[in-house]
Every structure is written in C-alpha cells, then in structure tokens.
Amino acid sequence: MGLTAILLNWKRPDNVRRIVQEYERYAAITRIVVFNNGARLDGLRSSKLVLVEASSNMGLYPRFAMAGLAQTEAIFHTDDDLLVPEGTLLTLYDHWTRAPFTCQGVQGRRADERGYNGENVWGEVEVVLTRALVSHRITNLRALELTPRFADLACVPMGNGEDILLSFVASSLSGRKNMAHKLPFQELPDKGRSVAISVCWPDHYKHRSAVVRRCLRVVHNGGTARSPASAH
C-alpha cells in the first residue's frame, strides 16, 4: 500500500506548507511531490517531500509528468485550496484498489457531447476533479501522451482541463465511469483576491466544454495508445 501525493503551487504558498505538514502524517502517503509554478517556495519541511521548482509557469500538465515518475501505482492528485482527512483518503484509495484504472475523487462533473456542466455531482460521473483524486500512474502517462492533441485549444493556464483528459482516459482504460464520493474535506480559504482559474479566466467553462468534445473524439473514439491489459 502507498500513494504518491502530487500538489501544484501557483500563488498559495501558505496553503502548500499547511498541506505538506498535514499529509506528512498520513501513513498511506509515501511521498509528497510539490511542483512549484510560482515564486520560490521557502519553509517546506518534510522527510517525504520532493520539491520541483519551475523557472516559469508550466501550467497543469506537470501533474501527469510527476505522476509518471512516481514509485507507487496509486497517485493522489490534490489542489492547494483543500485538505482531505486521512479517512477520506483511505476511502478513496480503497475504492481505487477495486478499480485501479478509474478515477476516484470527492467532486464530480457531468460531461457529454453538449459540453461540460460545472455543477457538483456524486456517484458515477464522467469527470472527477483533481482537487482530490486517486488514479493510476499509467493512466497519467496515457493522458500525458495525448496532450499534444489539445495544443491548439488556447487556454489559461496551459493544460486547463487536465482533469477532464485524465478522467476520459481512465474511463477508456477501465471501460466504466469514474466515481465521485460524498466524503469530508476542508476548503482552505484564499488570502485576498482569488487565484482560482474559474474566477480569473472568463472563458474557463467554454474551454472546458471544448476539452470534453475533443476528448470524446480523441480518447473515446480514437482510443488510447494501448489496452488496459497491457498496462501492467
């Protein structure tokens, strides 16, 4: 048993420090990878920590790259604006072990040929948000392989909609929908003006609908590079 936690930072360094301190205590987490897209991060201390500093903002696709370098099959993607209790993480991991090529998370979205629906839903879903999500390392690598097929969809930041791509790849590999579970988690407040993408970029939801339609063509109709049977 073991998960690699992957966290991106942009402009919430205090939250990142708090999250690392909290997740260091969780026995199931063997490594915490922080990919820093923003100003230099100081004051991070953990024996489980790997800090990767980018000289400029590389967007959201580093999630996939860091997952591909992990030493565990289970990847716990999480954002810098929430904390999940240890019990929530263990429940997600337990569900994931029963269906390791699905995404298991705490918030879901509906998505179909009509586009992307931004309302929270639970149960079987097309998309699980990477705010708190357990997936397979190989699912992340398959998603990374497909990112060039989305390069023409201009967005802020680069890779916006990566959770949609990851979710569609997962359902393509598993042959089933992903799952969002109504489990406890704690929202961490922004200090000052929100840096959330959905707030800062007015075309956020329009773009996410475009990513859904591209996924339906590239992932579901075109298939992924290999079948689930070859993923071991």
What totals of helices (H) and strands (E) does the chain contain, helices first? 7, 13
Q: What is the pLDDT, as a whole number, of residue 195?
A: 52
Q: What is the pLDDT, as a whole number, of residue 221?
A: 63
Question: What does the pLDDT profile of the chain (232 residues) look like in tens digits?
Answer: 799 999 999 889 999 999 999 999 999 999 999 999 988 888 888 999 999 999 988 999 999 999 999 999 999 999 999 999 999 999 999 999 999 999 999 999 999 998 899 899 999 999 999 999 999 999 999 999 999 999 998 876 787 999 999 999 999 999 999 999 999 999 998 765 555 554 444 577 888 999 999 999 999 765 554 444 444 3
Gyration radius (Cα) of the chain, Å:
16
Tokens 């820093």 belong to 36
Could you give the C-alpha distances from 205 to 28, 101, 120, in angstroms and in order?
34, 26, 14
End-to-end CA distance of the chain: 17
Cα(159)–Cα(16) distance, integer angstroms:
21
Tokens of 62: 């580093």
3-state secondary structure of 191: coil
For the chain, domains (ranges, CATH) are 3-230 (3.90.550.10)
Q: Positive or negative, the Cα torsion across 88, 94, 100, 101?
A: negative
Cα(125)–Cα(109) distance, integer angstroms:
6
User: Do 219 and 161 form a contact (C-beta atoms < 8 A)?
Assistant: no
Q: What is the pLDDT, as a whole number, of residue 202?
A: 57
- Specify the pTM: 0.90
Q: Helical H runs in 79-181?
A: 86-98, 137-146, 162-174
Strands of the sheet with 115-121, listed across from one edge: 115-121, 108-112, 127-128
Cα(190)–Cα(187) distance, integer angstroms:
9
Cα(59)–Cα(53) distance, integer angstroms:
13
User: Which of 25, 24, 26, 31 has the alpha carbon at shortest distance from 4?
Assistant: 31
Q: What is the pLDDT, as a whole number, of residue 229?
A: 45
Q: What is the pLDDT, as a whole number, of residue 226?
A: 47
Q: What is the pLDDT, as a whole number, of residue 149?
A: 94
